[in-house]
Chains A and B, each alone.
With several copies, the nearest count.
Chain A
Amino acid sequence: MKYVVSVEGDQHQIEIEGSTVLMDGRPLELDVRQIGDLPLYSMLLDNESTEVSVEEDGRFRYSVMLAGELYSVSVRPAGTQPAADRSLHLASDNVVRAPMPGLVTAAPVQVGDRVAAGQVLVVLESMKMENPLPAPAEGVVHQVHVAVGDSVEKNQPVVTLKYDQENVAARDDGGE
C-alpha cells in the first residue's frame, strides 16, 4: 500500500508491505507495538527504538509527538487528492472554539466588528488563569455564541468569523 506523506511541508513516498517499509524507495524493517490501548506506539525502525504518540486531528492529518518534539503529518493514499482535506480544514477554521472548558469572563467584540489577527475575541477563565482567545486571522465577526458568565465546554464554538480568501491561504501556509 502506497502513501503520499507530508511532514512539516516536505513530501515523502511511503509504502508499507508486511514488516517492510519503503521510505522514498529505501527499505526499512518496521516492528510496532501499541502500548495498552493508548495512542502510544513502541517502534523499532531498523532496530532504532522510539516511542511515539500519534493523534489524529482531522481527516488524513496526524500530530506525532516524538522525543519532545511535535510533528504535524498528513497521510493520504497515493492517487487521492489533498483538496478535500484543505476545504475541510478551511471550513472548520471559520469557527473559533474554546480550547478548554471554562468560564467566559469577557467578550469584547460585537457582530460586524472587523478584527485583526491576534485580537482578543473572548476571555476564558480556566485553571485559575485568564485565557484570551485571539482571532486566528484578520476578518469580520459573523456571530458571537457566548456571553460573559457562560460556562463553556471544550470545543464549544464561541465566535464565528468571516475571512478574506488571501488571509486563509496565507494562514494555511503558515499552519503547515
Chain B
Amino acid sequence: MAMIRKVLVANRGEVAVRIIRACRELGLRTVAVYSDADRAALHVRLADEAYRVGPAPAGESYLSIANIIDAAVRSEADSVHPGYGFLAENPRFAQACLETGLTFVGPDYETIRLLGDKVEARRFMRAAGVPIVPGSDEHPGKDIVSAAERLGYPLLIKATAGGGGKGMRLVRTPEELGPALELARREAKSAFGDDTVYLERIVQGARHIEFQILGDSYGNVIHLGDRECSIQRRHQKIIEETPSRALTGELRHRMGEVALLAGRSAQYTSAGTVEFLLDGDGNFYFLEVNPRLQVEHAVSEMVTGLDIVKEQLRVAAGRRLRYRQEDIRIRGWAIECRILAEDPYANFAPSTGKVTGVYEPAGPGIRVESGVYDGFEVTPYYDSLISKIVAWGETRGDAIMRMLRALDEFRIAGIKTNIPFCQQLFNSPSFIGGQFDTSFLEQRFSLSTKRRQAQEMVAAVAATYVEHMKRGLRPGGGDAATPGSAWRRVGRVEAVSG
C-alpha cells in the first residue's frame, strides 16, 4: 500500500478536528473540506489546507462524492479519512477513492458494502455462527406489513444503510407502522441518501454493549474491550462508558471472542465496532458492525492508552498493528457525555445560532472533543453534536464525579444545550447504580422540576439585579453598561492595568 503523507478529512465538526489532530501528531499534512456554512469552522482553521465542496446542505457538499474526490485531487492528497457519518459507510465513496488512487482510511469497500448493508451483515454473521436479533430480513420475499405481523409489536424500523439512530423508529401498534415507515424513510434518505428500511424484533430490557476492534491487512484483529451505550434518546447514544457494569469477566471474554470472530470472518481492517444487545439473562445478539471510527471511540482510548485514529492511519499505510491482544491493558474507567445543541426544556428542539461565549471544562481526567469556539455559528444543516466530554477515573465513581464536576463548569451562551439534562442523568440513582437498559431514558427518566428554595431565592435575586441594572439605577455610582463595576470598592487593579 501507498505511503501516507497528506490526508484529506472528509468530514466536519469535532471528528474532523479529532482526525486533524492525530495527523498533525504524526507529522502528516491535513486537508479540510467545508461547505458554505463551515468556512470558519474549527476544522478549517486547524487544517493545513481547506477546499470548499459546496453549499450548506450536506447533500450538496459533505455527501457529494464527486466534490470530495475533486478536492482530494486538487489538493494532491494521497489519502482520505471519512470520520463517521456522511460518507464514512458509503462503499461507493471508498471505491471512488481507490479508483482515484487515494488510500481510504478504513476497511476496503467490499467489507463496507457487506457490513454497511445491515441486512447483508446480519445474513453473513448468522452464517458465521453469530447470534442475531429476529428481523423481517430473514424472509426477504414477504412484504413488510406481514413481516411486522409475524415479528409482533412493539418492533423497530431500521434503515438498511443506517447508523447513529438515523432513520430508526419504534413502532408500538400496527396503526403506527405506516406513518413511522414514512418518517423513517425520509430521515434515512436525508442521512444516507438511501431510504431502504427493515424491521427488527425488540429485545426487552436489553442493554447496548459493543466492542472496539482493530484490524490490519495481515489478518490480525484485536479488540480494545467493551463499551456500554444503553443511555439513548430517539435511538441516539448520549452517554457511553467502558468497561460496562453489566458484564462479568466471563461474559466479557465470551463477547470479546465473538467480536473477534465477527471481525476475522469479515477479514476486517482498520477500526470498527461490533454492536450487541444483551438481555437480562446474559444472552447477547449481534446487532451490526460499524465499519468506521465510532463517536465514542475516545473512552476506549482513555482506558487503553491507544490512539485509535493514529492506528487507523498506520494500518491504512500498510503497516502491521503495533499491539497484540495481550498488550491491551485496561486502566480505570472512562465515560463520555455528548453535548448536543438541543433545548431539554423545549422537547429537545434543535438550538441554532451564534455561540457568543463558551468555556469548556478541563483539568485532571477530563478530555474534551469539540468543534465549537467563541463566535462559531451552529447551523441547522448538520448533526446537533457540538462537543464531547470524556471523564476518566480510577473507578466508575471517580469518573462520574469528574463528569459532574466538568458539566458544572461548562459555560455556553448563544445556544441551548442538553447539559442540564445530562447533569440530572449523572445524578440519578439508577445511572449511578448501573441499573439501566436502552429504554431507561425514554421510559424511566424525565427532567426533574423539583423545587429548591435556596436556589429559587438566588434566581430571584439574579433576575431582580438584572432588571434593576436595566433600569439604569446605579447604586454606588456604578455604570449600568458593566454592572460588575457598580458594586463594591474598585480595587487598585482597575487603576493599574485598565
Contact = CB atoms under 8 A, between A and B. Distances in A.
Are chains A and B native binding partners rather than an unrelated pairing?
A: yes
Interface of A: 1, 3, 5, 7-8, 10, 12, 14, 16-19, 21, 23, 28, 30-36, 38-45, 47-54, 56, 60, 62, 64-71, 73, 75, 77, 99-102, 105, 125-131, 151, 153-154
A30 B407 CA distance: 26
Interface string B450-473: 011001111111111111100101
A75 B467 contact: yes
Given A5-B463, A18-B475, A126-B352, A69 B357 contact: no
Contacts of A34: 482-484
Given A8-B451, A44-B50, A66-B459, A130 B407 contact: no
Given A17-B475, A101-B496, 5 more contacts: A16-B473, A42-B44, A54-B463, A153-B497, A154-B497
Given A3-B468, A127-B383, A130-B187, A32 B484 contact: yes
Nearest to B467: A75
A41 B462 contact: yes
B57 to A, nearest CB: 9
Contacts of B464: 3, 5, 14, 16, 21, 73, 75
A31 B487 contact: yes
Contacts of A56: 466
Contacts of A31: 39, 487-488
Contacts of B384: 127-129
A7 B352 CA distance: 28
Interface of B: 32, 39-40, 44-51, 74-75, 166, 183, 186-187, 190-191, 234, 341, 343, 345-346, 349-353, 356-357, 373-375, 379-384, 407-408, 411, 413, 419-420, 423-424, 451-452, 455-468, 471, 473, 475-476, 482-484, 486-488, 496-498
A8 B380 contact: no
A24 B498 CA distance: 38
Contact of B350 (A18, A36, A62, A129): A129
B50 A47 contact: yes
Nearest to A39: B413
B98 to A, nearest CB: 24
A28 B32 CA distance: 19
A102 B380 CA distance: 6
A43 B458 contact: yes
B455 A67 contact: yes
A175 to B, nearest CB: 12
Contact of B357 (A1, A12, A40): A40
B89 to A, nearest CB: 15
Contact of A33 (B191, B382, B424, B484): B484
B475 A99 contact: no
Nearest to A151: B496
Given A17-B475, A67-B408, A127-B350, A28 B461 contact: yes
B355 to A, nearest CB: 10
B441 to A, nearest CB: 16
A48 B48 contact: yes
B456 A23 contact: no
Contacts of B475: 16-19
A125 B424 contact: no
Given A3-B464, A68-B424, A126-B380, A52 B411 contact: no
B49 A48 contact: yes
Contacts of A99: 343, 346, 349
A28 B487 CA distance: 14
Nearest to B489: A19
B380 to A, nearest CB: 4
A153 B496 contact: yes
B343 A49 contact: no
Given A19-B487, A66-B455, A42 B187 contact: no
Contacts of A14: 460-461, 464
A90 to B, nearest CB: 20
